[in-house]
Amino acid sequence: MIYIDKNESPVTPLDEKTMTSIISATPYNLYPDAAYEQFKEAYAKFYGLSPEQIIAGNGSDELIQKLMLIMPEGPALTLNPDFFMYQAYAAQVNREIAFVDAGSDLTFDLETILTKIDEVQPSFFIMSNPHNPSGKQFDTAFLTAIADKMKA
């Protein structure tokens, strides 16, 4: 049995000869090639965006940490519960974080979120979609209302 939740792989590891070949062909002293830019261009084209609107990272944690560092001063606002790393990275950079609490059924009322934005005046709002841990997929109208309120 393979335990994917424990990051066990269903793929057999590479043999020593193959690993040696890959490692010896990797130029560790150089920055990555243009594949990053090619990826951004392809992704942007597929979604009808410009490459400048795309950022890629080594997993969501890297991007969350960068957001906590580069966003304007002021508190972040997120849902509660939601992905714990929002809190962890806010704490690392001494950024205040405020929460919109879920109802007893783990749902979030849009008006409550919009009111909390008025109260807190966050520098940015961050949330998981689908929601972590409920798995609820927020619809476009819900997300647009939050984005519009943040722009105001």
Check: CB of residue 99 under 8 Å from CB of residue 79: yes
Q: How far apart are CA 90 and CA 69, in angstroms?
A: 9
Closest residue by Cα to residue 72 from 54, 95, 91: 95
Q: How far apart are CA 39 and CA 49, in angstroms?
A: 13
More confident residue, 105 or 1: 105
Query: pLDDT of 57-90, one tens digit each?
Result: 878 888 999 999 999 999 999 999 999 999 999 9
Q: How far apart are CA 104 and CA 83, in angstroms?
A: 18
Q: How far apart are CA 145 and CA 149, in angstroms?
A: 6
Is the pTM higher than 0.85? The answer reads no
Question: Domains, the chain, ranges and CATH?
Answer: 71-151 (3.40.640.10)
